[in-house]
Structure 1
Amino acid sequence: MLEVKGLRKVYEGSGHRSVEALRDLTFRVADGELVCVVGPSGCGKTTLLKCVAGLLRPTDGTVALDGSPVTGPRPGLAVVFQEYGRSLFPWMRVAENVELPLRQRRSLSRTTRRARVAEALGAVGLAGVGRAYPWELSGGMQQRVAIARALAYEPEVLLMDEPFAAVDAQTRAELEDLVRGLWRERSMTVLFVTHDIDEAVYLGERVLILTPSPTVVREEVPVDLPLERDQLVTRADERFVGLRSRVLGLIRGDGQVEKRLG
C-alpha cells in the first residue's frame, strides 16, 4: 500500500552549506500493517514522516500510496504529531478540533460530520467531553483528541510521529494499548515513528531500524510476538527481551549486545 523508494532529503543552508538528512530510504508498508520506525536521536525520523505525509518535498526518491505518487498533503493520509498542545486549537472545543479536517470534505453533511466526531471520541475513550476545551484536559487526554481527529478523517494510512513522548509512563502505556486496539479493530495501516525501543517492539509487527544521519534503513526486524499483547505479560516474555536487545544492538551499530547474548 505505502511504498518509499530511494528517498533522500538534503537541507540547503547558507553559504553553500547543506545537510544530508536522509540518504537512501527504501521500504514498503503492506495494507493493514503496523510498522514502527526507530533510530538514534537526530537520524531524520521526523523528516522521513513529513516526506511520507507530503508535508516536505524530498530531494530525490518517491513516496507512493496505492501506486499513486504522494507529492503533497492528500486524502487518505492522516498525521498525529508529538506536540499535541500545538496541534490542537485552544480556542476551539474538543469536538470542533476533531471536526476541523472534515469541514474540507464538502460532500459530508453536518449531521455526518458530527456523527463521525462522536464515534471517534468514543473510540478513544473520550465520549462526553466534546464541549470541553483542550486546555481543560490532561496531556494524555489531549493526545487522545489528536488521535480522534485522525480517526474521524478515516485515513487509509495513519502516520504517528513520536506521539507519546511528552506524556508520563502510565499514560504512555494506556495510549500504546489504545493504538494497538484501534489498529486491530479498524484494520488500519500505521507507520509509527518513535525513539523508544521498548515501544517499537511492543507496538509493531515489524521494526525498521535507521542508521545515524545521513540515514538509510539498517535492517528490518519482524516482531514474532502474539497478536494479543499485555503491558506486563508481553514485556516479560523472553521473545520481547530478545527482540529489544537485538534492536538496541542494531541501533548502536556495533553488535555488542547481540554478541553478549550469543
Structure 2
Amino acid sequence: MLEVQGLRKVYPGRREVEALRDLSFTVGNGELVCLVGPSGCGKTTLLRCIAGLLEPSGGTISLDGRAVSGPPPGLAMVFQEYGRSLFPWMSVRDNVELPLKQKKLPRTRRAELVEEALTAVGLAGTEPAYPWQLSGGMQQRVAIARAVAYEPSTLLMDEPFAAVDAQTRADLEDLVRALWQRLGVTVLFITHDIDEAVYLGQRVVMLSSSPTVVQDEITVDLPAERDQLHTRADPRFTELRTHVYEQIQRAKRAQPA
C-alpha cells in the first residue's frame, strides 16, 4: 500500500513557498487512483516526493510498509513529456530495455520483457525504430512499455496524455485500464482532466489550491468494464464529473490572489 501522511513541501528562498501542507491519503494494493486539482497546486511536486526524487519538508511516505527516502524498488514512473523521457539516439528496443539492464537481468530475459511490453502496448515490430520516427502517441506508448517491462508493483503517471490529441488520448486511457486490469499493478494517475479522472479511476482524490491539502475524494462506482462511448454517456458519469468539477472550482475560488 502507498501511504502519504501529513506531507509538507516548502521551497526555501528569500520568499518561502509552501507547496504542500499536511497532505494525507492512501492507495491500496492493485488500486487505480486518479488525483486532480487546480493548475499549480503541486501535483507534480507530490508525485516527485512519492517517487523519492524530491525530499519532503515534513510528514511521511511509505510504500509496502517501507519509508520512502529515495527511488523505491518496484516503482516506475511515466512522465508527461514523452519526448524528453526517451533517448532519441536509442532505438525503441534500447529505450525499453535500459532500466532492465540496471536490474542486471540476463539478456534473454530482457529481450522477452521488451517484446512482451511492446506487444502489450500495440507496438510489436517497432523495436528497430527511433523515437523521432514515431508519432507522439506511439512515443508515449514506448514510455509506458518501458515502465511495464520493468515489472513494477506501483506505477506513477504524471499527466501522461496531456500532450497528445483527443483521439490518441482516448486510446491511451483504454490502454492504461487494460494494462492495469491485466497486470494487477497499483496506479496513481495525476491529471488535470476531470473527465479522464472519472473515466479511469476507482477513486478520485481532489486537491485544494496551494498550499495543498486533500479537499475531497470520491469512489467511482461505475462498472469495471468501461468504454469511451457508453461510460461517458452514463448519467452516473455525469454526476461524478459534476461533483469533481464543483470541487475544483471551489478550490480555485479559495486560491489566494
TM over 0.5: yes
**Aligned equivalents of 1:224 and 1:253: distance in 2?**
23
**Aligned equivalents of 1:135 and 1:183: distance in 2?**
27
CA contact (8 A) 2:93 2:128 kept: yes
2:116 corresponds in structure 1 to 119
**Aligned equivalents of 1:20 and 1:29: distance in 2?**
24
2:106 paired residue among 95, 106, 109: 109
1:74 Cα deviation (Å)? 2.1
Structure 1 segments unaligned to the other structure (5+ residues): 257-262
1:180 corresponds in structure 2 to 177
1:54-65 mapped onto 2 (5 Å cutoff)? 54-65=52-63
**Aligned equivalents of 2:87 and 2:2: distance in 1?**
30
**Aligned equivalents of 1:76 and 1:25: distance in 2?**
23
2:75 corresponds in structure 1 to 77
2:207 corresponds in structure 1 to 210
1:253 Cα deviation (Å)? 1.3
2:153 corresponds in structure 1 to 156
2:135 paired residue among 129, 134, 138: 138
Aligned length: 253
CA contact (8 A) 1:158 1:189 kept: yes
CA contact (8 A) 2:209 2:252 kept: no
**Aligned equivalents of 1:205 and 1:30: distance in 2?**
11
1:260 corresponds in structure 2 to none
C-alpha distance 105-254 of structure 1, shift in aligned 2 (>3 A) = closer
1:12 Cα deviation (Å)? 1.1
Matched, 1:225 2:239: no
SS at match of 1:73: coil
C-alpha distance 254-62 of structure 1, shift in aligned 2 (>3 A) = closer
2:66 corresponds in structure 1 to 68
- Which residue identity lines up with residue 90 of structure 1 in the other structure? P
- Which residue identity lines up with residue 235 of structure 1 in the other structure? R
Question: Normalising by structure 2, what TM-score?
Answer: 0.97
CA contact (8 A) 2:96 2:143 kept: yes
Question: Normalising by structure 1, what TM-score?
Answer: 0.95
1:254 Cα deviation (Å)? 7.4
How many percent of aligned residue pairs carry the same amino acid? Answer: 71
**Aligned equivalents of 2:46 and 2:87: distance in 1?**
25
CA contact (8 A) 2:205 2:214 kept: yes
**Aligned equivalents of 1:11 and 1:160: distance in 2?**
23
